[in-house]
Structure formats: C-alpha cells, structure tokens
Structure 1
Amino acid sequence: MKIEFDQKHDIVNIEFLEGVEIDDSVENDGIVFDYSKDKRLVSVEILDAKKRVGKNPLDKIDFSVIKDKVIAV
C-alpha cells in the first residue's frame, strides 16, 4: 500500500494494488474509486484533501496496525 499527497493538485492518493491497470473509475462526492478489469479496488483518490481533513492531510492518518488474536480450534 502506498499513500501520497500531491500538494499542487490537493489530492491524496491511496494505492492498494501497485502496478495494476485501472479499468474504471467512479467518483462520489469528491472521492474517486479506481477499479481493475476484475473489479478489484486499485486505489482511492481524495480530491480537495485540505478542505476535507485540514492543512496537512497525511498527519491525520493513523498508521497503527491492530493485530487480531487467532486461536486454532
């Protein structure tokens, strides 16, 4: 997963599948969802990011990972 902020265009891009070609894009209220041919979510683009989450959008993202406890049955 890769997260980038383009200050010039005020866009946050969250890429889930690197190197996968985008076949279709759907925009909903300033958020663009990019899909591959087999309908997997490739990336999400947040337009007007500063308006949505403040001056430094990447500072608002919590990168902590929660690990679930797995018990074998």
Structure 2
Amino acid sequence: MKVRYDREADILVIEWLPGGVIDHAEHTGSLIAHFTADGRLVLLEILDARRFLAQVLQAALQGEGVLT
C-alpha cells in the first residue's frame, strides 16, 4: 500500500493494489474509488482531504460509528 498527499490540490491518494489495472471508477461525495475489471480496489482518492479527515477524526473522537 502506498499513500501520497498532494498539498496543492488537497487530495490524498491511497494505492491499495500497486500495479493493478484500473477498469472503472466510482465517485461519491469526497471519494473516488478505482477498481479492476473483477471489482478489486486499486486506488482510492480522497478529495478535500483535510476537511474529510478532520470530520473522520472528529466522529471517531466522539464515538460515532464505533463498533463495540
């Protein structure tokens, strides 16, 4: 797994499957997920990464969505 952050564009890129061939992508909210033809996740882009991660951290600290 590789993680890159583009400060200028404020995009966090997480490469789950290095060398995987991207067949298609799905975009929802701040996330763009790139998949292989058989549905395996290759790459995840988080747009507006600072805001997105701040919201995730805040929710985690408040205990929202935490499985017990």
TM-score (norm 2): 0.72
Residue 18 of structure 1, CA deviation? 0.5
Quote the Cα distance in structure 1 between the aligned partners of 2:40 and 2:51: 28
SS at structure 1 position matched to 2:51 = helix
Say whether 1:38 aligns with 2:38: yes
CA-atom RMSD, angstroms?
1.1
Structure 1 or 2, whichever has the larger Rg, is 1
- 5+ residue gaps, structure 1: 55-73
Q: Where do 4+ consecutive residues of structure 1 move more than 4 Å?
A: none
Aligned length: 54
Say whether 1:47 aligns with 2:47: yes
Q: Judge conservation of contact 2:30–2:52 (CA < 8 Å) in 1.
A: no
Quote the Cα distance in structure 2 between the aligned partners of 1:34 and 1:3: 15
- 5+ residue gaps, structure 2: 55-68
SS at structure 2 position matched to 1:45 = strand
TM-score (norm 1): 0.67
State the identity as a percent: 37
Larger helix proportion of the pair: 2
Q: Judge conservation of contact 2:2–2:15 (CA < 8 Å) in 1.
A: yes
Residue 52 of structure 1, CA deviation? 1.7
